[in-house]
């Protein structure tokens, strides 16, 4: 297949998939409460306040699929959404700073690690990085763990509308260099802005390619 046509097909399929119904399935606070799905899963993780909820809402074209809050750490469980009966989207608790008890934060972090280490249907994790701050130590902790478990992950830079063109070029190059040392990472970050819609089409296409449909891979 012609490469440009293949890319266009992925984009069109991604556009179609994300117009399908997206329904909330369940929220769980412990991996012991997880059911075994028959669909692939794409999970989204990032530091608290990295723009994860806004990105999920932008991807699905909905204003309130994922709750947006100015209070970091608002997502306190694994939230599962069924997208068109093709794939499950998983909104994970934010790691790092959160306005919550240390005990609760420790439990969230435990759930994150257990899910990432032992979920056979997890096809990819999107690690969201606030483009204004770049990769931090707690991001590296998650990335290093994923390298050891061979879970492929896609770094997604968020809030790029807050940067100048030169600053964006710089952070993309810095991120690419960092990813070279992480074998489970895809080599190129996807730069996005939920407010401006930048990079959303590309990310939709990459996610849709992992859906349970054989004609795109």
Q: Give tens-digit pLDDT for 184-205.
A: 999 999 999 999 999 999 999 9
User: Predicted confidence band at 69 (pLDDT cuts at 50, 70, 90)?
Assistant: very low
Read off the CATH number of the domain in which 91 is found. 3.40.50.300
- Number of domains, the chain: 1
What's the whole-number mean pLDDT along residues 61-84? 70
Does residue 141 form part of some domain? yes
Please give the residue that has the higher pLDDT: either 76 or 51.
51
Does residue 215 form part of some domain? no
User: What range does the domain containing 182 cover?
Assistant: 3-208
Does residue 216 form part of some domain? no
Does residue 134 form part of some domain? yes
Does residue 213 form part of some domain? no
DSSP for residue 185: B
Q: 62 vs 19, 68, 93, CA distance in Å?
A: 10, 12, 20
Mean pLDDT (the chain) is 86
Residue 83: enclosing H or E segment and its boundaries?
strand 78-83
Flag whether pLDDT at 27 surpasses 70. yes
Does residue 217 form part of some domain? no
In 3-state terms the chain splits into helix, strand, coil percentages (rounded to 5) of 40, 20, 40
Measured CA to CA, the distance from residue 216 to residue 16 in angstroms comes to: 13
pTM, entire model: 0.88
| Residue 157 pLDDT | 98
Q: Is 193 helix (H, G, I), strand (E, B) or coil?
A: strand
What is the tens place of the pLDDT at every residue in 89-105? Answer: 999 988 765 566 677 66
What is the tens place of the pLDDT at every residue in 119-174? Answer: 888 999 999 999 999 999 989 988 998 998 878 999 999 999 999 999 999 999 99
* % of the chain beyond a pLDDT of 90: 57
């Amino acid at each position: 297949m012609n490469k440009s046509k293949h890319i266009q097909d992925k984009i069109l399929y991604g556009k179609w998939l994300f117009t399908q119904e997206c329904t909330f399935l369940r929220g769980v606070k412990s991996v012991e409460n997880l059911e075994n799905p028959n669909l692939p899963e794409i999970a989204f993780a990032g530091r608290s306040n990295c723009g994860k909820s806004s990105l999920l809402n932008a991807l699905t074209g909905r204003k309130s699929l994922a709750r947006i809050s100015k209070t970091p750490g608002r997502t306190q469980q694994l939230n599962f959404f069924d997208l068109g009966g093709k794939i499950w989207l998983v909104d994970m608790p934010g790691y790092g700073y959160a306005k919550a008890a240390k005990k609760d934060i420790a439990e969230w972090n435990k759930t994150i690690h257990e899910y990432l280490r032992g979920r056979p249907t997890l096809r990819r994790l999107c690690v969201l990085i606030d483009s204004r701050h770049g990769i931090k130590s707690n991001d590296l902790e998650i990335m290093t763990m994923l390298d050891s478990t061979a879970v492929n992950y896609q770094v997604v830079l968020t809030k790029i509308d807050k940067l100048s063109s030169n600053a964006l070029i710089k952070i993309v190059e810095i991120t690419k260099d960092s990813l070279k040392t992480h074998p489970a990472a895809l080599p190129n970050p996807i730069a996005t802005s939920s407010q401006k819609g930048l990079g959303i089409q590309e990310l939709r296409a990459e996610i849709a390619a992992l859906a349970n449909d054989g004609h795109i891979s």
